[in-house]
Amino acid sequence: MTRIAMVGAGLSAVSACDALRGGGYDGEIVLLSDEAGPPYDRPPLSKDVLTGSAATRGDIALRPADWYEKQRVELRPGIAVTALRPDEGVLELADGSELTADRIVLATGGTARTLPVPGADDPAVHTLRTWAEAERLRARLVPGARIAVIGAGLIGAETAAVATALGCAVTLIDPVPVPLTAVVGPDIAGALHARHRAEGIDVITGGVERIDRAPGTEEVTVTVGGRPEPVAADTVVVGIGIRPATALAEAAGLTVDNGIVVDVAQRTSHPRVYAVGDVARRSGDPVRHEHWDAARSSGQAAAAGLLGAAPPARSASWFWSDRYGSRLEGVGSMADAEETVVRGDVASGAFTVFGLRASVLIAAAAIDRPKDIKAAQRLIARAVPVRADRLTDPATELRALLRG
């Protein structure tokens, strides 16, 4: 194998490059990105970039500027791949040229979903997936600005929290009364959502029906089902998830079903093509894991596959999210738990929920309890039987439960 081409230069692709070189791959690596400039990390976009504490692209770079040369990774930013011919190993590029590679890794991530309602294309309506979008939004978050955030999932909630801290008047709109319940369980989801009101955010439950702008004004109004008065705003932020960027794969005839379907080594239905990160879904997994750690580890798994090595042991999906100075973490699949139990004091705001199935820990979510999550990761990996009353007993050292 002499050349591997990566389409997309986000975390999953850069992790794959790292792991290929770490695993001894000596051939060419070409990293193609339709975004300008060097690869950057996305989690800070809704955190330090919006607050302004990360002011330049360099502040959130995925790797130091000299890393690409040192690792002999040919970075080609600002050029989109427009088509893929897998049988020939050919990528067609937006400038009309073609690139041939022995193996191709699709790491195209996704784009922010837009609202399917009238007025969703108004210039006051923002989404948050890229540096360019974050820069545009940051300029709007000035003291006194009225910000309507649609969607109270992870990114919407982070954006609402930052906007409030910056002195904006924030309205947070979501169709469900307690968002994230399926992901972190009702106790944690309830505590997180209640915090928005406690911080002075106007929280509204309802579906958005339309966005209007009075001609010649800067103001838009957001009409929410079941509410007599629309919400007036200077800026609207839509945080309702992503659409995986599967167009290339679909046009090339690869199997796509809620993401590009891959095996444990991230191989797609075509032997020459791999897929990693947010755009990929492991065959047998009901969901795509659109999180930082999943992107990193899928890049490593693809590198192992490309090198003919066994894929690294797979750990339960882990994510974090920051709001109001607190850190939420989740591991495993809470939606599959038969029973949930709480450790710690809910009233204090810092507590953990464990999810069990057939007396085995399969998930945990916590606010500001990183040690519980670390222990939960190990317990989930070992799948040792645990008693619910031992998990909840503050006297129990969670590490001790690893011994069964």
**Residue 197 main-chain phi, psi, to 5 deg:** -65, -40
| Nearest to ligand FAD of 22, 118 (CB atom) | 22
Q: Are 10 and 109 in contact (CB under 8 A)?
A: yes
Judged by CB under 6 A, the residue of 28, 35, 234, 368 near ligand FAD is: 35
Task: Compute the distance between CA of residue 152 and CA of residue 155 in angstroms, rounded to an integer.
Answer: 7
The answer to the question of residue 128 lying near ligand FAD (CB under 6 A) is yes
Minimal distance in Å, beta carbon 347 to ligand FAD?
Answer: 26
Convert residues 61-100 into a mask of x (bound to ligand FAD by CB under 6 A) and - (unbound): -------------------xx-------------------
Q: What would you measure as the largest C-alpha separation in the chain, in angstroms?
A: 68
The region of 43-51, 144-152, 220-228, 367-375 touching ligand FAD under the rule CB under 6 A is 43-51
- Does 221 bind ligand FAD (CB under 6 A)? Our answer is no
User: What letter represents residue 271's amino acid?
Assistant: P
Residue 35 or 234: which CB sits closer to ligand FAD?
Answer: 35
Distance CA 131, CA 49 (A): 9
Q: Which is nearer to ligand FAD, 78 or 118 (CB)?
A: 78
Q: Is 302 in the site for ligand FAD (CB under 6 A)?
A: no
Where does this chain touch ligand FAD (CB under 6 A) — which range of 2-10, 95-103, 259-267, 329-337?
2-10
Tell which one of 13, 161, 337, 362 touches ligand FAD (CB under 6 A).
Answer: 13
Signed CA dihedral, 178, 182, 187, 193: sign only:
negative
The tokens describing 345, both together, are 């004091």
Closest CA to 162 of 372, 322, 399: 322
Please state, in angstroms and rounded to a whole number, the distance separating the CA atoms of residues 357 and 359.
5
Polymer length of the chain: 404
Q: Of the ranges 9-17, 144-152, 359-367, 373-381, which one interacts with ligand FAD (CB under 6 A)?
A: 9-17
Q: Count CA atoms within 13 Å of residue 24 on its CB side.
A: 4
Which among 40-48, 119-127, 307-315, 331-339 is the span making contact with ligand FAD, rule CB under 6 A? 40-48
107 binds ligand FAD (CB under 6 A): yes
Identify the residue among 4, 29, 45, 380 touching ligand FAD (CB under 6 A). 45
Q: Which of these, 97, 58, 59, 57, lies nearest to 76 by C-alpha position?
A: 97
Among candidates 367, 140, 109, 329, which has minimal Cα distance to 241? Answer: 109
Using the minimum distance from each CB to ligand FAD, give the nearer residue, 291 or 356. 291
- CA triple 125-280-327, angle to 5 deg: 60
Q: Phi/psi of residue 273, each to 5°?
A: -120, 135
Candidates 252-260, 284-292, 376-384, 392-400; binding stretch for ligand FAD (CB under 6 A):
284-292
Minimum CB distance to ligand FAD smaller for 108 or for 333:
108
Q: Please, what is the minimum distance in Å from the beta carbon of residue 97 to ligand FAD? A: 13
- Cα 371 to the chain's mean position, in Å? 22
Q: Does 152 bind ligand FAD (CB under 6 A)?
A: no
Question: What Cα–Cα distance (Å) separates residue 231 from each residue in 52, 217, 226?
Answer: 27, 15, 12
Q: Which residue, 128 or 379, has its beta carbon nearer to ligand FAD? A: 128
Q: Which of 272, 273, 321, 270 is nearest to 108 (CA)?
A: 273
| Interface segment toward ligand FAD; rule CB under 6 A; list 204-212, 215-223, 317-325, 355-363 | 317-325
Q: Which residues bind ligand FAD (CB under 6 A)?
A: 7-13, 32-35, 42-43, 45-46, 80-81, 107-109, 128-129, 155, 245, 248, 277-278, 290-293, 295, 319-321
